[in-house]
Structure 1
Amino acid sequence: MRIVISTTKLRVFLLSALGALFVAGCAQYAEMESGKASAPQPRTTQDSEMASNVPVAREGAASSADELEEVIVTGARPSDVGRMPAGAIEMQNAPVTGGFAGAASMRLMVDLDANADFALRSLSSDEELWVIAKPTASASSKDDAHPGTGAMVARFTDDHDGPTATAKELPLPLKHTDVNAVINGYISSVNVTQQFENPFDEKIEAVYLFPLPEKAAVTGFLMVIGERKIRGIVREKEEAEQIYREARSQGYAASLLVQHRPNVFEQKVANIEPGKSIDVDIRYFHTLAYNDGWYSFVFPTVVGPRYNPPGSEDPVRAVPSDDISETGSGTAVRYLRPEERSAHDISINVEINAGVEIEELRSSHWIDAQQGAPERASVALARQATMPNKDFVLDFQVAGRTIKSNMLTYVDPQTQQGYFTLMLYPPALTGSLARQPMELVFVLDCSGSMRGRPLMQAKNAVLAALTHLNEDDTFQIIRFSDNTSQFGNAPVPATPENLRLARRYIESLGGSGGTQMIEGIRAALDFPHDPKRFRFVSFMTDGYIGNEVDIIGAVHDRIGESRIFSFGVGSSVNRYLMERMAKEGRGAVAYLSPQDSATDIMNRFFDRISHPAMTDVEIDWGSMAATDVYPAKLPDLFVGRPVVVTGKFLGQPSGVTVRGRSAGETQRVRIGGSDSDAGNEYVAKIWARLRIADLSDRQAWQSDPYHELAADIKTTALEHQLMSDYTSFIAVDTSRVTEGSRGTTIHQAVPVPDGVSYETTVGDGQ
């Protein structure tokens, strides 16, 4: 295994002429061709050894010695470098590798920063440390424009068109995704392997946009080429992208992982040789959701097509599979047409250790399940369910109706900094208490992406909710797409006549147009609140928008005394938006998949809001000096909906006391402390991920003229080696220059989510 490290400082003393070293190595890349590249042809047995005639652009790399502060050298094993703290490490007689020539040996002095030290401490005896090239000068504008490397996707059609045409398989690089998850209690550790293969007769760069859970703390990134394993590290995003461009232009195999949203990532793999493959392993941790006795493990498989209102910054655009334009801001997701398909499939294996008896399993997909011990289960995705076009959801119910609050702790052995995470469950509350009158506001997304099954599910959910209203309740119904309209000018009493008219209004709604969700937010939260009633705002949407930050900011600014319950409707919803709306709205989130019963979902919703919530929640930390606790403001505790609280502490972990009010009375919950477990190292990662999420949310509404929030995000991400909006994973294999010309960039096209209409979401890409 080799590890790629890009240090921030590197002093190089050459024993021979350094100028010749770089000139010879870079001369072959000086030529640049212009124009568009043709689509590469699928590789066949007959032409596998034939040279490609496809014209390609060759990117310049005319760097000089003065422009480089780091050079490419061969790996040094721990026995050579030693496990040392941050400081100077001297390596002698390290032969130069890659495309550089002209010096037989060199001596270099490396000033290791915190990131390099982090990687050194993680080395094992069979791993190597790699220092890779990073020019200080900006990459050329021509390189940024990718001349001659348009987003080419080979597309094959039948001899005839029309509804009888057979779906054709596109030759795309992503062949398989393998997911292996281990669940211990409410923490899951997940390894994702993406297998890229080059089916063409020239080198390619593969680009793939994909989702991960919105709370995932991505902690590992490994590029596997044959028997070689190159571990990536986290660098500042601009630096990582610069390293990737340089490695790509010089012919090295490289991988870059970039975060576009907390739940949307982009994988780039450069210089995959014809007929060969490169695997990319991604590892992350996250906490499981818990609702009414059920834990939920979710693995999202496809990014839903987003609507981007005019003026959206960094939009995620939906375009057809053969769109080759490089114009437009933001990032484009390419979607397969209904008559197209990809060979990409997925396998999922989940090992569960719930800690208590597992009573029942249920899944969104066909699964093969085995249960040994009562608290353990092994689950695998069945062979007939391997198409990655909807979220994989695995729920497991644990024994006992009362789950105790509990705390996990970890103390860093080097810094003695402690981290904790506790799952706080509300105390058992009596259901016989009369609930207060409520003001229910239902907001329905009637945009084009909701047309069909999703909108029908949302409408059925609201219809089911109306049956729970009492005559002293009031309600309002708001729809939005390109514009908004509503059932009445103001909330109306839940009389039989008003309910009859409301049902007629709901049944008349259809799905079309864009998703101007912010107008729905304003319509739901801007009218005066009746102080005699609790206001609950229920959003029914798939969340397919590109301006999530605007929505989160609007909720924060307008929430007042309201509570938002977000209902994600569909097979692959934008869970990041759903979770953040509920967080800022001090409510909760629920998901309504195509196979769920809308009536059951709304029954549970009303069961929850009909019981008194625990409000004004505070934690007495006792002797435990807790700091940087997230969420900073604890939300209300609803029956069956625990809250995960994570923070830092110094000293020994001790018990804490949670206080709050419910039905006019003070409630207390005592949570005992626990000894720090070295195996709980992931707790520090989870804390760092939550800190990054909190800082990112604050950017939606807090002025930051000096970019202090961005700096804090970057510092936290680099210290804990995590992905963020400002940091990326980079891995480069410098052991050899790949053969052949640069080739073409291939964007992996994906299916639209199950139940979503291609025509009303992607269409012609406009």
Structure 2
Amino acid sequence: MLSLPLSPFPPSSHPRSPLACPAPGLTRNLLLGPLIALLLALVAGIAPARAQETRAQETRAQETRAQETRAQDGSGTLLLRSEGGAPVEAPRLKADAAITVSGPTARATITQVFRNTTAEWVEGTYLFPLPEDAAVDTMKLVVGDRVIVAEIREREAARRVYEAAKAEGKAAALTEQQRPNLFTNAVANIGPGETVLVQLEYQQPVRPTAGIYALRLPTVAAPRYSPAPSAVTSVVEGPSAADPVPDRQKIAAPVLDPARRAPVNPLTLTIDLKAGFPLGQVRSATHAIRVEELSGSERRITLADGATAADRDFELTWTAAPGETPSVGLFRERVAGGEAVLAVVTPPEAASPAAPVPRDVVFVIDNSGSMGGASMRQAKASLLIGLDRLRSGDRFNVIRFDHSFDTLFPDLVPAVETHLDRAKRFVAGLEASGGTEMLAPLRAALRDATPEETGRLRQIVFLTDGAIGNEAQIFSAIAAERGRSRLFMVGIGSAPNGYLMSHAAEFGQGSFTQIGTPDQVTERMRALLVKLESPAVTDLTATFSEPGVDATPTRLPDLYRGEPLILPARMRAVRGTLTLTGRIGGTPWQAVLSLDTAEAGTGIGKLWARAKIAEAETARLTGRLSPEASDAAILRLALDHGLTTRLTSLVAVDATPRRPEGARLVSTDLPLNLPAGWDFASVFGEGEAQPLPAPPRQRRAATPATQFAAAQPVALPQTATDFEIRAWLGGVLLALGLCLSLRRRRVAA
């Protein structure tokens, strides 16, 4: 039972005035009441200001959400986060590629048009791909009617020049190599409503394979997975643990969801093909083209649709007319201090089929998120074709990987029906998700349990899009752990990492096959498997009769069926002979070429320098050159030949400041399309770029109702209180609080 205290005072028959004998605690109550009233007044005054601030914040948030919605739904402008964090409109970009093919080389001019549609002064940075063997030697900045030709400088020096020009309000452009096939163009101080052009030029070789000549132009830099340091390394080395991708921020760019944004960065293309021999078929498996016949050996190629979205590699292939395929090509060019020569030689096929050699084949398939969609289907179909080509006596295994990896069998197993059926079910059930941790499955594939079995060929077929940033780790692992294995890279999808593929195959003494479209799967996978089954051209050597010749590479690679040897060299004068020797399936082979018959060529000196730079990079990774010696060789070659490399950049600066003093400069990274066939959710996760979910509503826990027993009535004391005084003082203070509240509202308004 609940009881209340009775009054401490005895009842009296004489009523007393409330003031005659105040109740105990009156002084305390006189203070407590006004304090409470004052507190209420202050709260009442503060609430309107807070409400107004909250409304302002909500308004700003609604504006930001509206801007972001416009950026996502494809209407109006595209907004990106600038360095300051506020959304800014990205510069618009379109590009044009003009390529001239002259025999074994191609000269390309890429014009990037940056258009600023805002009222701000803008700096835009664009991440873009080029062929992995491109020798980038020219950059021009066009502002209005002024053309500024870039200079080649050491990378840090070029960056300092660019940053100084940017701060001074001058138009400037900086071209930097992030990977041999990945570059950035930064353009500073693009004025409001202004259009600025950046024009790049590069030289590249044209490589024939099995009588098919191919030219490839990458158009989009695919998102790359950059692994963090391993957990063990992080624990052991702490914060100083080496980052496998120290430049991860430089190889990343905003990527648009094709379900929410129309494609950006349109590309136009013109190719003047001067093959040097009567042409047969000219086609593209990646784009619709128009082919204009100019002569028996010349064609002009343009895109059938005029312009295309930059979301996949462009590939052009051509063949010679029947009976006109050359097996030897010799070309020369006068360069400073001498001449450059380029030999392109395709060894003949074996006179008679060699006896089949039993093989141990490890298939490795990438099922990470970037392989989602068409790429995963192409990879699975390619692997199934590979399984079908295994012969009696062969052994095999299958490894799949994303952020983890699984090996189907504990070890190599015979290629019998039960094992093949299990492997096919395993492959058919793969789905794309997760990151691309390539190093561990690669090492598992390279691990050779029976290195003494030299009578068997050990081959690794690696199917991936190569969308990673830690290429150096991969190359080092192959060089250190390859043993007797041969590594065959199969590039899958519309925008594979050609640098990773070609150099991994080089380190692995194998070859690189590109499968870019579904209709290429059967044709190109079968061609690769024929290579694996055919004898290779081994023990190749090249000997020049003239002294003082600098040829590259110094160690010639093994060649597979239909593959040519491409050998650039520099000498005082192109004369004498070049003798090539090797073995084709165990049979000696030799070819003697007279250099006096070499035809005039263009860009051969640049290709020689680019190949020498690549060889120095390879020597650094394999330990044949120290990092200091490798860097010195690269820097010397790059500066002498004006090439953009890991250590050098092209920088162009307009002499006249143009941005008004005090005008702010906003910086953005230009967005990229998602490569065609990729699944956005598989790469970036479900709900990417979706509005943030509403915060969860608070809910009280369901608690049983508390039951109270009925209380007995209690007689309350009839004593006097200080109610009147407290009510009077509280009313005065409440009125004062209301006055303060009104005053605050007028000030806030």
TM-score calculated relative to the size of structure 2: 0.76
Equivalent positions of 1:204-219 (< 5 A) are 204-219=122-137
The question of whether the paired residues in 2 share the 8 Å contact of 1:556 and 1:701 is answered with yes
Deviations 1:263-319 (A, max 9, x none): 1101011111111111010000001222222111111111111111113444565xx
SS in 2 for 1:693: helix
1:137-176 residue pairs with structure 2 within 5 A? 155-157=67-69, 169-170=77-78, 171-176=89-94
Instruction: Using the TM superposition, give the Cα deviation of residue 681 of structure 1 relative to its aligned residue in structure 2, in angstroms.
Output: 5.2
- Partners of 1:220 and 1:716 in 2: how far apart? 15
Letter in 1 for 2:615: D
**Distance apart, 1:498 and its partner CA:** 1.6
Matches within 5 A, 1:520-535: 520-528=441-449, 529=451, 530-535=453-458
Q: Which moved more, 1:554-563 or 1:378-387?
A: 378-387
Question: How far apart in 1 are the matches of 2:351 and 2:66?
Answer: 63
In structure 2, which of residues 450, 474, 483 is the aligned counterpart of residue 560 of structure 1? 483
Kindly indicate whether residue 281 of structure 2 is the aligned counterpart of residue 360 of structure 1. yes
- Could you list the per-position Cα deviations for residues 364-421 of structure 1 after superposition, in whole angstroms to 9, with x for gaps in the alignment? 1011111121211111012266110001111112224653222222343x423x3222
Query: In the alignment, which residue of structure 2 is the partner of 1:674?
Result: 596
Moved more, 273-282 or 473-482: 473-482
CA distance in 1, matches of 2:280, 2:65: 47
* C-alpha distance in 2 between matches for 1:706 and 1:451: 38
Amino acid aligned to 1:200? T
Where do residues 51-62 of structure 1 align in structure 2 (5 Å cutoff)?
A: none
Ranked by relative contact order (alpha carbons within 8 Å, sequence separation 6 or more), the top structure is 2
> Does 1:334 pair with 2:254?
yes
Structure 1 residue 598: Cα displacement: 1.9
- Residues 102 and 602 in structure 2, CA contact (< 8 A), matched pair in contact too: no
Match of 2:463 in 1: 540
Distance 2:144 2:306 in 1: 29
CA distance in 2, matches of 1:466, 1:264: 34
**Displacement after TM superposition at 1:510 (Å):** 1.7
Farther-moved stretch of structure 1 (198-207 vs 645-654): 645-654
Amino acid at match of 2:591: V
Look up the equivalent residue of 1:157 and give its one-letter code. Answer: T
* Matched residue SS, 1:229: strand
Matched, 1:267 2:179: no
Aligned pairs for 1:363-442 within 5 A: 363=284, 364-383=286-305, 386-400=308-322, 402-412=325-335, 414-416=336-338, 418-430=339-351, 432-442=353-363
**What CA distance in whole angstroms lies between the structure 2 residues aligned with 1:316 and 1:381?**
35
1:342 Cα deviation after fit = 5.3
Q: From the superposition, tell whether residues 168 and 568 of structure 1 become closer, same or farther in structure 2 (CA, over 3 Å).
A: farther
Number of equivalent positions: 595
Cα distance, 1:759 vs structure 2: 2.0
Structure 1 residues 568-587: aligned runs within 5 Å: 568-587=491-510
Structure 1 residues 675 and 242: CA distance shift in structure 2, 3 A: farther
- 1:428 Cα offset (Å): 3.0
Contact kept in structure 2, 1:153 and 1:746, CA below 8 Å: no
Partner SS, residue 180 of structure 1: strand
Report what 2:151 is aligned to.
Answer: 233
Q: Give the letter aligned to residue 289 of structure 1.
A: R
Deviation per residue, 1:124-145 (Å, 9 max, x gap):
xxxxxxxxxxxxxxxxxxxxxx
CA–CA separation in structure 2 for the residues paired with 1:561 and 1:503: 27
Q: Does 1:202 align with 2:120?
A: yes
Contact kept, 8 Å, 2:227 with 2:245, in 1: the verdict is no
Give 1:589-600 correspondences, 5 Å limit. 589-600=512-523
The change in CA–CA distance for 1:752 and 1:211 in structure 2 (over 3 A counts) is: same
Q: Given residue 631 of structure 1, which amino acid in structure 2 is its aligned partner? A: P
Structure 2 counterpart SS, 1:749: coil
Contact 2:269 2:307 in 1 (8 A): no
C-alpha contact (below 8 Å) 2:175/2:649 kept by paired residues: yes
**CA RMSD, aligned part only?**
2.3
Residues 1:601 and 2:524 are matched in the alignment: yes
Change (3 A) 1:532 1:357: same
- Tell me how far apart the structure 1 counterparts of residues 474 and 480 of structure 2 sit (CA, whole Å): 10
SS at the partner of 1:602?
A: helix
CA positional deviation for 1:169: 5.0
- Percent identity between matched residues is 31
Q: Which runs of 5+ in 1 are unaligned?
A: 1-151, 318-328
SS at match of 2:525: helix
Matched to 1:501, the amino acid is R
The DSSP-based 3-state class of the residue aligned with 1:674 is helix
Aligned partners of 2:170 and 2:657 also within 8 Å: yes
Structure 1: distance between partners of 2:247 and 2:218: 17
| Residue identity opposite 1:673 in structure 2 | L
**Aligned-partner Cα distance in 2 for 1:191–1:259:** 17
Work out whether residues 169 and 341 of structure 1, in 8 Å CA contact, stay in contact via their aligned partners in 2.
no
Q: For 1:282, give the aligned amino acid.
A: L
Contact 2:129 2:220 in 1 (8 A): yes
SS in 1 for 2:621: coil
- 1:624, distance to aligned residue in structure 2 (A): 5.1
Q: Report if aligned partners of 1:179, 1:192 keep a CA contact under 8 Å in 2.
A: yes
Please, which of 654, 661, 665 is the counterpart of residue 583 of structure 2? 661
Contact 1:308 1:315 in 2 (8 A): no
SS where residue 372 of structure 1 aligns? strand
**Hey, what's the Cα distance between the residues in 1 that align with 2:91 and 2:379?**
37
- Residue number among 689, 699, 704 corresponding to 2:610 in the alignment: 689
Gaps spanning 5+ residues in structure 2: where? Answer: 1-63, 79-88, 230-242, 690-749
Give the 3 Å change call, closer, same or farther, for CA 608–703 of structure 1 in structure 2. Answer: closer
Deviation for aligned residue 1:430: 3.4
Q: Secondary structure at the match of 2:623?
A: coil
Q: How much has 1:431 moved relative to structure 2?
A: 5.4
The CA deviation string for residues 97-148 of structure 1, in whole angstroms up to 9 with x for no partner, is xxxxxxxxxxxxxxxxxxxxxxxxxxxxxxxxxxxxxxxxxxxxxxxxxxxx
CA distance in 2, matches of 1:411, 1:570: 40
**Which secondary structure state, in structure 1, belongs to the residue aligned with residue 271 of structure 2?**
strand
Say yes or no: does 1:505 pair with 2:426: yes
Residue pairs, 1:481-496, within 5 angstroms: 481-496=402-417
Report which of the two has the higher share of helix: 2
Deviation at residue 701 of structure 1 after TM alignment: 3.6
Q: Contact (CA 8 Å) 1:359, 1:396: kept in 2 or not?
A: yes
What does residue 41 of structure 2 align with? none
Range with greater deviation from structure 2 (586-595 or 645-654): 645-654
- 2:60 corresponding residue in structure 1: none
**Secondary structure of 1:304 counterpart:** coil
Does the 8 A contact of 1:153 with 1:747 survive in 2?
A: no
Conserved 8 A contact 1:174-1:194: no
Amino acid of the residue matched to residue 240 of structure 1?
A
Kept in 1: contact 2:350–2:585 (CA 8 A): no
Aligned letter for 2:257?
Answer: R
Q: Which has the larger radius of gyration?
A: 2
CA shift at 1:704, angstroms? 6.7
Name the residue aligned to 1:137.
none
